[in-house]
Chain A
């Protein structure tokens, strides 16, 4: 187990390093002078000089990358030249909303998705309805779910606010319910489908037949012999879900006018505020990579066999 964890950690650090290198290096792929790029396209010569100094653009590339990386690790994410402010101080007030939204959606996905999946695998009549619903659910982009929810629940029924993130825990809960549902929508369908397939497959296994023939109560069979084995594909999908939620949060925050990392990323991208884009992209990608590593570790805990073979 220790070796398994160590291998995963090394892979994790390597992936993070390469990803950060790509995000940093992408700046130099863009046409034109990186200083102009960083300045957001409308810079006076003094500002350009300031940027060259701050980013040490005259130093070799690798030196600059290393400086940037060490700064990032110390919490210094650079400076936005559109806002003339530290990026970290711009991100701080926005992180909360995004984290709240993503966690809220993740809870919905796991709760509703796994329950529906189990129900449809165990009861055939529920099954066919759920199959049709998941096909449509999986094809519904978050922004389409968002406008349907806004039309029905915010405008026509007036139960929820149309936009904003609210303050305090309850205010947030109320404001972010529709966004979280919109964000979770397609993934609930996906998790339902995976859970259903995986539980069905376990149900037809020999050890389950044996347990049934020995008269073990169905409830116990499902809990002890089916569910635990069926969890492995489900946790794997949970890793994919995190990627989807991170990308989806960008869209949903925009749709509901929530001030979060995602909507700020879109704003920064259209303003060419590259320091901000870089910082947020790095944060999101790092979150995704770490979440996937955690999923790998969880799978290793659930299924000891993976610790031996699953090094990939």
Chain B
């Protein structure tokens, strides 16, 4: 949702910043690479089976065997967090891919064809804006049942208008530039101009938009799991872990909720800041 604002305001504070190495950006990119690697390598690096229950070892303090301690059922917290990275990242990734691919297609078509097509899609997108993503996801769960699929599809549709609207204006600006006009004059077919010339040139913006959406998609999807409408326990997933650990907070063991929450925040911060920085860079280059 902040995507539009970030893109339009990004050019303002560029300038001299560009040459210096941007440590914030390096840190964010590194964190993202690490967390994705952890998700991919989960079976090899997790010290325990994430679903191995051991009632006797309930709420154990950190030790050599359990570096972050155990949860109420004696499951190893570190292993659950590591395995949890998989679904917690896969869901938002699916949302972003679907929303971006469809959104970009709509944006290019609307910018290129203009006229009634542009008018109709703009109206439809305006109406989609009326549905907050989470409400849309809950509606989908009520209809199709809980799980990963219904919320992911619902959130993809909810994120469409943001991507499509930003990218449409980018594509529209690009469309009027001389190089596109030159292709047009040369008599290249529309399909060739849009896919071979227009698309590669708006791709940086598509990428920025996808990066920015990722954080919001992660928050929304984790919220669906937190509400108990997403993947079912005992599946390790961060949003679900926050909810699961909440009962233990009263007993004085807030670790499970806090660790999972912290990972969500760090991941989202990384994606947001990276997206903002990339937006600044690309809009500087475009000027």
Contacts and interface: CB of A to CB of B under 8 A. Distances in A.
Interface in A202-240: 233, 237, 240
A245 to B, nearest CB: 9
Q: Which of A141, A190, A281, A292 has the largest number of chain B CB atoms within 10 A?
A: A141
B134 A136 contact: no
Contact of A155 (B127, B131, B250): B250
**Interface SS majority for chain B:** helix
B145 to A, nearest CB: 8
Query: Which range holds the interface residue count of chain B?
Result: 35 or more
A148 interface: yes
A144 B261 contact: yes
Contact of A151 (B9, B12, B133, B258): B258
Query: Which range holds the interface residue count of chain A?
Result: 35 or more
Contacts, number: 141
B254 interface: yes
B228 A270 contact: yes
Given A155-B249, A240-B1, A281 B261 contact: no
A135 B273 contact: yes
B139 interface: yes
B138 A281 contact: yes
A130 to B, nearest CB: 15
B127 A18 contact: yes
A277 to B, nearest CB: 4
Interface stretch (B57-65, B110-118, B219-227): B219-227
A270 B145 CA distance: 8
B134 A251 contact: yes
B224 to A, nearest CB: 9
Interface in A36-52: 37
Given A136-B269, A155-B252, A190-B2, A143 B135 contact: no
Contacts of B1: 240, 243-244
A139 B269 contact: yes
Contacts of B141: 269-270
Contacts of B243: 143
Nearest to B219: A141
B246 interface: yes
A197 B243 CA distance: 35
B264 interface: yes
B249 A289 contact: no
Interface string B6-22: 00010010000000000
Q: Which of A18, A139, A243, A268 has the largest number of chain B CB atoms within 10 A?
A: A139
A157 B1 CA distance: 35
Contact of B134 (A23, A37, A247): A247
A287 B196 CA distance: 44
B142 interface: yes
A19 B132 contact: no
A201 interface: yes
A251 B223 CA distance: 7
B139 A23 contact: yes
A151 B37 CA distance: 31
B84 interface: no
Nearest to A276: B142
A242 to B, nearest CB: 9
B182 interface: no
A266 B243 CA distance: 14
A270 B146 contact: yes
B142 A274 contact: yes
Nearest to A138: B272
A30 B143 contact: yes
Interface in A6-38: 15, 18-19, 22-23, 26-27, 29-31, 37
6 contacts: A136-B269, A141-B223, A244-B1, A251-B226, A268-B142, A281-B139
Given A15-B126, A22-B127, 19 more contacts: A15-B127, A23-B139, A29-B143, A138-B2, A138-B272, A139-B219, A140-B265, A141-B261, A141-B268, A144-B261, A147-B245, A147-B254, A155-B249, A155-B252, A266-B228, A266-B229, A272-B145, A281-B139, A312-B122
